[in-house]
Amino acid sequence: MIVVTGATGNVGRALVTQLAADRVPVRALTRDPTRADLPAGVEVVRFAPPTEPAATAAQFEGATALFLHVAAGGEHTAELLAAAREAGVRHVVVLSSIILDHDDAAAHPIHVMHTRLEQQVRDSGLDWTFLRPGAFSTNSLQWVPQVRAGDTIRWPFTQSVTAPVHEADIAAVAAVALRAPKEHAGAVLSLTGPTAVTAEEQIQAVGRALGRDLTVVEIPPHEVTPDMFPHISPEMLPALLESFGAAVDSEPDLTTTVEEVTGRPARTFEQWAKDHAEDFRTG
């Protein structure tokens, strides 16, 4: 049995769906099982934090592997890992961040958060695999309100370059590591998409997927409002904008980890845009 935290998130949902399609026993943990809408045959259980010891232990019963999202344990990650180990879990695959590959970013809030997470996992006594994806393609869903409102997208640092990775590719790597723990224990896997693209190129790819011509207008950072980045807490927004500025006209490192682990090339951002076209359409 594999337990998946964050099971209704972008990566978690893709992972649960892939495991279920392969008929792998999977238990999906989510804070609201009634709204999970996961594939038939998946055991959907309410996520119980360590502040509920009996329920926490029960959610790991019969499991040998765990997929851990950074938000799952929060301040109680060590206790969550201890409960998983006591219940019989032996291997944990952790959704971390590629920012940990860069020591010069050690002061960045995302670096600090994931460094702490990885250390807690190292200290847990469990075997582990760290997945360190770069920019998520799903971050582009932040443009949904503007795309639905019209054909002009206002954005800062439009020439900021990333190599966005499809959530299905992150999930595919996680699935392999979860199902073959001996081969991947102690591995640190940095994941990117196959090509580097600017923010403007991503917006244009979304337009093509929708059959529309989108106009990109660059705005200065001081005109950015928190609602433009709904997946980022307001206190982290300044650091994010700083990283966008630093990535203008940059050449991000590209990895081939997705293909090496899964045997299939990583999906392009163009493919991601096609896969998510409906998310951008007025519903």
pLDDT band for position 77 (cuts 50, 70, 90): confident
201 or 51: which leads in pLDDT: 201
Could you tell me the two tokens for 121?
């996992």
The mean predicted confidence, pLDDT, of the chain is: 91
User: Which CATH entry fits the domain spanning 2-137+164-193+252-266: 3.30.1280.10, 3.40.50.720, 1.20.1270.360, 3.80.10.10?
Assistant: 3.40.50.720
pLDDT, residue 131, reads: 97
pLDDT, residue 282, reads: 65
Could you tell me the two tokens for 81?
């890992």
**Domain spans of the chain?**
2-137+164-193+252-266
Q: What is the model's pTM?
A: 0.91
**Degrees (nearest 5) of the Cα angle 278, 12, 47?**
120
pLDDT band for position 278 (cuts 50, 70, 90): very high
C-alpha to C-alpha distance for 49 and 57, rounded to whole angstroms: 10
Q: How distant, in Å, are the alpha carbons of 66, 81, 163, 181, 249 from that of 210?
A: 37, 43, 21, 40, 27
What size, in residues, is the chain? Answer: 283
Q: What is the mean pLDDT of residues 35-62?
A: 87
Strands 127-133 and 91-95, sheet pairing = parallel
Residue bearing tokens 């940059």: 250
pLDDT band for position 75 (cuts 50, 70, 90): confident
* pLDDT single digits (tens) 214-261: 999 999 998 988 888 887 778 778 888 888 888 898 888 899 999 999
